[in-house]
Chain A
């Protein structure tokens, strides 16, 4: 086989292999994209608003990395007593009705609320904000 034919056959093989690999990767990307899209759609269509502010708890993304808090391993619930007390935390399955990851902390402070719908300052006096909310 001449050098020219060797180069031609080799080039075709490399090209074919490249096409095959790129096609395979494209399929993987497509599958990943579909999975991500389905996940996002699921989050988008579910609406959970345990703190009653009208904003979907499942859409909150406090570290701004594109992953909602409820699915984000990087995100930790704030400990300042200002919100998300009723959230089950990241392990709750994203609101799919599968709540195996119950979180003790989400129940804390749930014991003393009266007329919880109105923040009139007469509720339990936490150390963090009791002076500012009378």
Chain B
């Protein structure tokens, strides 16, 4: 909480109009009854304070943001994050533009999650072109490198996707997206069955309170185990201490998604969206996991699942310029390579598969420089792994305040 307070004078110091084209401050307050998203629920409240800045110099732009998140009850999961970079926009005539961006950042967790402290380097190239005044083609590519304190999670990834939008005078929108991605774990460590057995005591003697852990797949190397006690009474992370072979492991995925949206008058919009994702090759180096709520979870990221997701949404612009959104999402995801396990940790002999139903509501009011919002989500997640059979809600509210907007904007 002290860090939250410290950010306020820093904000004031930075709020010099000459130093920025945009300077924005945001504060969010979040409450949930299931912080770890597991069968045994733990409630918590999170306060977030963030500051973002950017400065334009002709077609170049520099940007940075920093934020601190504080958890009221599980304060050991609080984190500080920073991100900064530069981008360049190259206009090719009136209808086409190229965009390039280089950025880096870091996330620092408090003691309980130090292993997940990481730095990120990211490069993005994008093309956007108007095929017609009501048709837009976008192509983007991103390369990302992430370095964790625990090198087990280090990876480099490449994603490419293309989207085509078409808008009709009937207020109909059609969008289609194609995506491809490749993620390469730089330091996955294979552990033999005997090593895993030898590591079992770690399960019985957790070293710290936490929400879960990871198990590694593979069949080579001698190693040792390290465990965290989880909310579900199990959880482990195995890695080799003696033969850390630098054998990488890649995952290749592809996805197709689309949106059909229809406007009803000027103030109401309906949207139906769907996505399908496949794994083309490779697999995760992890065999089991108990979700970490706060980190970019390598067993629940974009590369971890195959399956289908469908959603519907209603958007309404009501008087006093208030925007309402009501959405429903249904998703059926399988996590290849992630073993379903009983609550006492026994392998159930199948891959984890989740079906999630989620309701989202959002109300937002925009002023000229301030945006305030309130959201509510309710999730019911059914899984063949009983640990992930859960339901819960999240309630959040916040505001974003553009402290300064320069003339260049």
Task: Report which A residues bind B (CB closer than 8 A).
Answer: 45-50, 52-56, 59-64, 74-76, 78-80, 82, 89, 95-100, 102-105, 107-108, 110-123, 125, 127-129, 131-134
Contact = CB atoms under 8 A, between A and B. Distances in A.
A44 B275 CA distance: 31
B313 to A, nearest CB: 7
A116 B163 contact: yes
A104 B87 contact: yes
A107 B59 CA distance: 13
A97 B130 contact: yes
A114 B275 CA distance: 9
Contacts of B360: 119
A81 B191 CA distance: 41
Interface string B354-398: 001010100010111101010101010000000000000010101
B294 A63 contact: no
Nearest to B373: A82
B398 A131 contact: no
B247 interface: no
Contacts of A116: 161, 163, 177, 257
Given A80-B400, A111-B142, A55 B267 contact: yes
Interface string B302-322: 100100011101010100110
Interface in B116-144: 122, 124, 126, 128, 130, 132-134, 136, 138, 140-142, 144
Contact of A52 (B126, B253, B261, B329): B261
A30 B94 CA distance: 32
6 contacts: A55-B266, A59-B266, A115-B179, A116-B163, A128-B67, A133-B377
Say what secondary structure dominates the interface of chain B: strand
Given A53-B313, A53-B315, A54-B171, A108 B159 contact: no
Given A64-B321, A95-B133, A115-B257, A54 B315 contact: yes
Contacts of A120: 275, 309, 311, 329, 331, 356, 358
A100 B95 CA distance: 8
B343 interface: no
B293 interface: yes
B24 interface: yes
B142 A128 contact: no
Contacts of B301: 122
Given A117-B275, A122-B300, A134 B321 contact: no
B30 interface: yes
Q: Number of contact residues on B: which range applies?
A: 35 or more
Given A54-B261, A55-B267, A79 B52 contact: yes
Given A79-B26, A95-B133, A128-B26, A117 B368 contact: no
A107 B255 CA distance: 21
Contact of A47 (B24, B124, B134): B134
Given A104-B87, A115-B309, A110 B402 contact: no
Interface in B14-43: 22, 24, 26, 28, 30, 32, 37
The CB with the most chain B CB atoms within 10 A, among A48, A75, A78, is that of: A78
A122 B99 contact: no
B362 to A, nearest CB: 8
A127 B403 CA distance: 19
B356 A47 contact: no
Contacts of A112: 142, 144, 159
Nearest to A125: B296
Interface in B193-207: none
A56 B263 contact: yes
B61 A105 contact: yes
A99 B95 contact: yes
A109 to B, nearest CB: 9
B144 to A, nearest CB: 8
B342 interface: no
A76 B89 CA distance: 19
A16 B296 CA distance: 78
Contact of B126 (A96, A98, A110): A110
Contacts of B156: none
B177 A119 contact: no
Contacts of B325: 53
B275 A97 contact: no
B269 A123 contact: no
Closest 7 CB pairs of A and B: A54-B269, A80-B400, A115-B275, A79-B24, A111-B142, A117-B273, A111-B124
Given A55-B266, A98-B94, A114-B253, 19 more contacts: A47-B173, A50-B136, A52-B173, A56-B266, A78-B400, A79-B52, A79-B402, A80-B24, A82-B373, A99-B97, A105-B22, A105-B63, A107-B89, A110-B138, A111-B142, A117-B273, A118-B309, A122-B302, A128-B67
A72 B300 CA distance: 41
Nearest to B123: A111
Contact of B133 (A46, A55, A75, A108): A46
